[in-house]
Structure 1
């Protein structure tokens, strides 16, 4: 695999290749004020660039011929002109302000731009559509820098996750039209609750590191700023259907009216995804819809979004024991006896463990061992433009989530459920087999806002923030038992509440001084969190916390020329513990603090673009994985005094010839805890539990590979056809923070093939066929796992569990656009 590293480093050093003789350059200004427009998008001959702070642009290395030059800018009418190129051409373009307010203004206040001192990548609708054949949204972002994706069921459908720079989903801030999506208590993002959401996404900006100030949970590894469906001028209808391995079926219907009477628009989507999953019984039944209506005036934009997702997934979150995965019969027998009575109770459990496939094993046999959840979202977005210098954005939102996971449990003590023992025929019965449901019923609502003022082309100011409340009810029910307890129907054996408020205000300024862009961003955030009632172990909960954070950011960008700039920034972020940290830790955990430094170089030329950046992320009191998990697979964390991440990232796109394009990324990093204390439970003969503490210095942070590389080589053999090879290499990762070679995920190198063909047919706007062959070299790999240890009867027992991913599999898609 060393060749992979060499290959990636060579990609970072590729020189400019001159393929043509002429250029199209020019200046973009506002027609009424004649002020330069920085950041205007310019396209010609399939190549794109953006105007610099002086409004200048240049697309070099073009062959002689006729080109359609298109220039667009937020809030302005798009300019198009045909240019016959037989010498260098220089244009002076004055854009006219548009007749309606455009959707892009909604997310502008939290977005980075080409002259921002922020490390980011934009992903547009076309890029998402290419890969959207049924897999969850994280898999559509797999080719972006420093990203690792994983799937519990092994095929990218159901419970899936994404890490950026080694940071797990609880550290990645996600907003939908500027509205927080992360769960307020766990701080995680559950894409399974938004099946096929990518079909209603117009664009995504991925910021790595702290990034710009945003709403919701703090970004400690990155942020995903997602904008949903935007204005389409004409009516449309689309049918997208996919089928493939593991019984996977995806059906999507989308319709839209386009702009009615120049002011109104309506869009809708209905989706269904079914999959048996790669893992035994790892099935998913997913449904969703998206409805949107908009009013577009000369100064006002009002958009209402209503969308919902429901999921029923079979539980495969326990993973596969290492001994089972490796086919080690002696180790598997030891594992069996170590877990007899806790995981394995019946003859069927034993047969399942020993006789099932080693990579597809699933522990649960109860036919309704499922997770069931529905989440409804309501958004009302409003933008008013006072003048070409001043606008305001506001949004009201409400999310209602409710659902449960159901599980069969053997030999449960009545006492654990608040029930009295039964006496039958003089015999006391204290245990029973039962089926329980653990519920979450929650409401999340609030307001977001931003005020944007641009007094001149050199200065922009933003003031924004949000106030949100979360009210979550956690409770459990026993719906069946082998012995009838003395209880009432729907009686709750535990009932707890979490109530959280989140208030933040930020102010941002960008000032252009000649070739320098100075940037400052100050945010204050206040969090109040109250936990009451009882937890699932029926323990009384009574915790309150009040936290105040100050998150300053500053940066400087220098524009070297029309095509390139360099930037540097420093940012501070703070983050509160999550619900499990509060209720399962013996002592109150501290909030985390991060100082993030970014240094970068960007170049955007006609036939290639490249970004090279270095970063340092320095943590105080970072909450890291201990290697332990609770009974539903959730990690248990602890504070580490000092830890850091140092890295170098490269992100490039190169149009080698008009028919051949190469997108590639590489990320090298060093991720260390300076001092980590492992606590191993010791089960003593007298029934007491103590701890053995082991100190580790300068060891790798869990799930932080030192190298991640991606490549997408796309070739168009003829018009409307494309063949692409997508490759992803991820270096080894450790399951905990001890850097123990026996607790790791091996490196993996996965290759996919994507074939696409689009054509118009008998009045249809577009008919598209796509075939995605995942892992066509049949790499055997695991993308996630966990580890824990304990000492029993003086013997150390170490357990590793893994989530195997599918071998060669495929998805075939047919799309029709009217």
Structure 2
């Protein structure tokens, strides 16, 4: 049951995207088409896992594809963004400098928070901060069958808003013939004037082939090691993928389990621009640095400590179904669940004191407690997300009507502890959490798309999506005490319950047209209105509350100096 209180429906940031008329030429020869077909001839029957995929000469969106043969030729051990950077409008960089670990990309100048990423039609961006963490499924490229990149609003009618574009990955390594592949290799990178071995990969894959004309199983295990290019930016990535498929007459079912635990050394801060051309300086890894008053000379640095590490694991579980009810009616269903649990340890030296750590009398500590020295802070997160995405496709004389929905439920737990420090209070409890809270996100969406053949060469595509987002932060504590705030009505909120519960409702229409000039060229155009909900920290950065962060809602300062918040008005 949902309580839609007055004032809690808010319109967030929105974007109006217009694609200029684009002219597309296709020069695929019959020989090339035959070659590509032969590469896929040994695949089992496939599941069309997403209604978000564009079709050449039908869909009015700019897109590019990487086929399985291209993936097999290009992929070794580097993160997927490195391969995607070969496509138009995409740039990628590696935090470690070695292409293994944390890698990020931009599309059309937009960062990953504005790029929708789907694996088998399942949204992958983090529901709270919108970022995309490719490291959560190491070596996924080894199990990819096809990658499609759409630029702009595209055909993303569920999942996260595609402002910069969308990236759709399809996995399937089921083959008709059984077989196994063992792969091992090492990589070298230039350090100064020398080349050194700094990466390695070990992988085994196996496919059962078709069993009893009905079943297929595929499995992969892999490990990728990297010392990193920058100091203490190592990574150890363990990846796994297990797929099971059943092919019935009118029903196809696929179950996938994939992910991989990983550990790495933190390297997320950049370096001064002047370091780029110096072969030694550019390998440094600082957790903090700053310029002097001139803005040209580096006046202060803090070197990254070896104890600043991360451990995380996010297994993915999904069940995909294609049910051909009649010749003209098909039901597609995606059920999924994934959970991520882990921590990262970072240096608190020089900027954290006893008050930040909440080592205060109200939390049971003596008044004469001293500031901890050389602290290492552990930040923990535990995410769970599950959902269902059904789509009903209705074929008619003039095209296809698709009706669908999306239900996603996200829950998270966050806390921070002192992992290590000198000068701690006597009998300090190492399990003491100086901040903790729970985050909650619910997403409900309905969409409809009509792809209408106005003539043999002219296709009109119209679409509308309605989506409701809800945000909550609850159970927030500062030390051992629940946090409390006063709302605009003078009532206490928080105190172990919801700090806020706010909703965003959007309507996103799209309209496009494609005209095939001849058998080699086509022209298309589209217009789209896309809305994007805020990140959780745009409402309240609860993970940084110990540094003085407050809820980012409209407030009224009272004569006694207190603030009353209107938690319906961010």
Q: TM range, normalised to the smaller chain?
A: 0.7 to 0.9
State the alpha-carbon separation in 2 of the partners of residues 512 and 426 from structure 1.
76
Q: How do 1:384-403 residues align onto structure 2 when only pairs under 5 Å count? A: 384-403=323-342
- Alignment-derived partner of residue 263 in structure 1: 214
Q: How do 1:65-104 residues align onto structure 2 when only pairs under 5 Å count? A: 102-104=45-47
Of the three residues 282, 306, 318, the one matched with 2:257 is 306
- Alignment-derived partner of residue 470 in structure 2: 528
CA shift for structure 1 position 69: 8.6
Of the three residues 553, 558, 566, the one matched with 2:515 is 558
* SS of equivalent to 2:131: coil
CA deviations over 1:33-81 (Å, ceiling 9, x no partner) = xxxxxxxxx9743x22xxxxxxxxxxxxxxxxxxx79979x9xxx79xx
Of the three residues 449, 452, 459, the one matched with 1:517 is 459
Q: Check the 8 A contact 1:43/1:71 in 2, yes or no.
A: no
CA shift for structure 1 position 380: 1.1
Of the three residues 340, 363, 382, the one matched with 1:441 is 382
Change (3 A) 1:563 1:495: same
Change (3 A) 1:566 1:326: closer
CA shift for structure 1 position 156: 1.2
State the alpha-carbon separation in 1 of the partners of residues 274 and 478 from structure 2.
31
- Alignment-derived partner of residue 479 in structure 1: 419
- Alignment-derived partner of residue 164 in structure 1: 107
Change (3 A) 1:484 1:296: same
Matched, 1:189 2:146: no
Q: How do 1:307-456 residues align onto structure 2 when only pairs under 5 Å count? A: 307-322=258-273, 324-325=275-276, 335=290, 363-410=302-349, 412-420=352-360, 429-456=370-397
Change (3 A) 1:501 1:426: closer
CA shift for structure 1 position 324: 5.0
CA deviations over 1:671-697 (Å, ceiling 9, x no partner) = xxxxxxxxxxxxxxxxxxxxxxxxxxx
- Alignment-derived partner of residue 92 in structure 2: 149
State the alpha-carbon separation in 1 of the partners of residues 464 and 73 from structure 2.
38
Matched, 1:226 2:169: yes
State the alpha-carbon separation in 2 of the partners of residues 241 and 536 from structure 1.
49
Q: Check the 8 A contact 1:44/1:70 in 2, yes or no.
A: no
State the alpha-carbon separation in 1 of the partners of residues 26 and 80 from structure 2.
34
Change (3 A) 1:426 1:230: closer
State the alpha-carbon separation in 2 of the partners of residues 557 and 323 from structure 1.
49
Aligned pair count reads 483
Q: Check the 8 A contact 2:47/2:252 in 1, yes or no.
A: no
* SS of equivalent to 1:192: helix
Higher relative contact order (CA 8 A, sep 6+): 2
Q: How do 1:254-293 residues align onto structure 2 when only pairs under 5 Å count? A: 254-293=205-244
State the alpha-carbon separation in 2 of the partners of residues 381 and 314 from structure 1.
36
Q: Check the 8 A contact 1:302/1:382 in 2, yes or no.
A: yes
CA shift for structure 1 position 431: 3.9
Matched, 1:128 2:79: no
- Alignment-derived partner of residue 15 in structure 2: none
* SS of equivalent to 2:540: helix
Of the three residues 536, 561, 572, the one matched with 2:529 is 572
State the alpha-carbon separation in 1 of the partners of residues 276 and 63 from structure 2.
38
* SS of equivalent to 1:415: coil
- Alignment-derived partner of residue 110 in structure 1: 52
Matched, 1:297 2:233: no
CA RMSD of aligned residues (A): 3.5
CA deviations over 1:638-669 (Å, ceiling 9, x no partner) = 9xxxxxxxxxxxxxxxxxxxxxxxxxxxxxxx
* SS of equivalent to 1:554: strand
- Alignment-derived partner of residue 10 in structure 2: none
* SS of equivalent to 1:583: coil
Change (3 A) 1:213 1:367: closer
Change (3 A) 1:551 1:425: closer
CA shift for structure 1 position 387: 2.3
CA shift for structure 1 position 326: 6.9
- Alignment-derived partner of residue 470 in structure 1: 410
CA shift for structure 1 position 418: 1.7
State the alpha-carbon separation in 2 of the partners of residues 428 and 187 from structure 1.
39
Give the unaligned 5+ runs of structure 2: 1-21, 190-197, 485-493, 546-551, 553-570
State the alpha-carbon separation in 1 of the partners of residues 404 and 227 from structure 2.
45
Q: Check the 8 A contact 2:47/2:321 in 1, yes or no.
A: no
Change (3 A) 1:118 1:325: closer
Please identify the structure whose Cα radius of gyration is greater: 1
* SS of equivalent to 1:156: coil
CA shift for structure 1 position 180: 0.8
Provide TM-score, normalisation by structure 1.
0.55
- Alignment-derived partner of residue 199 in structure 1: 142
Q: Check the 8 A contact 2:514/2:525 in 1, yes or no.
A: yes
State the alpha-carbon separation in 2 of the partners of residues 190 and 285 from structure 1.
15
State the alpha-carbon separation in 1 of the partners of residues 240 and 262 from structure 2.
12
CA deviations over 1:87-110 (Å, ceiling 9, x no partner) = xxxxxxxxxxx9x9x324222x21
Matched, 1:249 2:200: yes
State the alpha-carbon separation in 1 of the partners of residues 366 and 510 from structure 2.
72
CA shift for structure 1 position 119: 1.0
Give the unaligned 5+ runs of structure 1: 1-11, 18-41, 49-67, 80-97, 345-349, 354-362, 586-629, 632-637, 639-818
State the alpha-carbon separation in 1 of the partners of residues 122 and 158 from structure 2.
7
CA shift for structure 1 position 567: 0.7
State the alpha-carbon separation in 2 of the partners of residues 501 and 439 from structure 1.
22
State the alpha-carbon separation in 2 of the partners of residues 371 and 239 from structure 1.
29
Change (3 A) 1:104 1:230: farther
Q: Which structure has the highest strand share of the two?
A: 1
